[in-house]
Amino acid sequence: MKPDLNVIPIAHTEEIVFGHLVGEVRTAVKVANEMLRKKLVDDKTGNKTDTDWHFNELLKPEIKTNDSYRYLPGGHWKPINCSPKWKVAILIPFRDRFFHLPILLRYLIPMLKKQLLQFSFFVIEQANKNLFNRAMLMNVGFLESLKIFDYDCFVIHDVDHVPLDDRNYYGCTDMPRHFMSGVDKWKYKLLYKNFFGAVTGLTKENIRSINGFPNVYWGWGGEDDDIWKRVKDVGLNITRYEGPVYHYDVIRHHHKSAPLAKDRFELLRRSHDRLKKDGLSNIVYPIPVYELHTLYTNISVDINRIKI
Ligand code: BGN
């Protein structure tokens, strides 16, 4: 069925997702945020600390929803009656697209529940006006989400891509996955065979074996092709299923297109040389600001260029 991609407020998605429990959930999120602040911010100095904080300890109170799922503040979901095949962190690199998010979540949450996955939503927000760096945000999301829970599968999701069929399974496989066989803006095809953008899935081991993602792509384009090269470089193969089950629609933008990464051709040529020295091995960033929302955990981070 065609999704309705018209703008809806986040409160509307909350009501769809939680039904009559929405009030209880909003209160729980408020309480959890206060606990989180106590733990992460020193009362006397106001400084942020980077103590490891643990999922079960902090994200309370947990709520049993009426669909066999346990919910924890910050958008964390766990099935009650079965052990999930994959524990999935959905990482959404983000800046400014506040109207996209409720539309995407409104479709993804029911879909992931149907698939009986354990899942958490992380919005990784670039908290500055530098050129957007999608791949570096992916690294931050990977490292920070693992402080909360030991996820084994990471789905990296563009905020404006909505899957059209809930049989598009968001668990991982041994190899990296590309979840998309076609998209409306390209007449439900892909631009090129080696396209590895928009919605991808990698296991924790996959990500470690490619040294995470490149930190050097500032601006639009190239980072996904670089990741494709990394995957090939270490001898992994990408799985992609064909057919309409794996189609997406793009939520239309009403904004200027993002500035290009002008150096992307040059960077891409040298991808192989950077694999070992650029990624998880060299990333540095200031302590992010965490905020729990009803539908997701927001990780806001001021990323800057790193010298290689
Ligand atoms: C490609 C971009 C991708 C982008 C797709 C789809 C580059 C690198 C130079 C060849 N790659 O051309 O990043 O996802 O288009 O829009 O620009």
- Answer yes or no: is the C-beta of 163 below 6 A from any ligand 1 atom: no
CA dist 273 → 191, 226, 230 (Å): 27, 11, 10
pLDDT value at residue 156? 98
pLDDT in tens, 52-80: 555 556 566 778 887 899 999 999 999 99
pLDDT value at residue 256? 76
Q: How far is the CA of 225 from the centre of ligand 1 (A)?
A: 7
pLDDT value at residue 37? 83
Question: What does the alpha-carbon distance between residue 89 and residue 121 come to, in Å, rounded to a whole number?
Answer: 6
Q: How far is the CA of 11 from the centre of ligand 1 (A)?
A: 35
CA 156 to chain centre: 5
Domain ranges of the chain: 10-301
pLDDT value at residue 2? 85
Question: What does the alpha-carbon distance between residue 135 and residue 154 come to, in Å, rounded to a whole number?
Answer: 13
Q: Ligand 1: which of 224, 229, 265 to mutate, judged by most atoms within 8 Å of the beta carbon?
A: 224
- Please say if the pLDDT value at position 47 is more than 80: no
Are 90 and 119 in contact, with CB atoms under 8 Å apart?
yes
Q: How far is the CA of 276 from the centre of ligand 1 (A)?
A: 23
Are 179 and 163 in contact, with CB atoms under 8 Å apart?
yes
Q: Which residue has the higher pLDDT, 68 or 169?
A: 169
Percent of the chain with pLDDT over 70: 95
Question: What does the alpha-carbon distance between residue 45 and residue 34 come to, in Å, rounded to a whole number?
Answer: 17
Q: How far is the CA of 179 from the centre of ligand 1 (A)?
A: 17
Is the CATH number of domain 10-301 3.90.550.10?
Answer: yes
Burial pattern 219-256, b for ≥16 Cβ within 10 A else e, equals: bbbbbbbbbbbbbbeeebebebeeeeebbbbbbeeeee
Other Cβ atoms less than 10 A from the Cβ of 293: the count is: 19
What would the mean pLDDT of 138-161 be, rounded to a whole number? 96
CA 222 to chain centre: 19
**pTM value?**
0.95
- Answer yes or no: is the C-beta of 221 below 6 A from any ligand 1 atom: yes
Positive or negative, the CA dihedral 84, 86, 92, 93 is positive
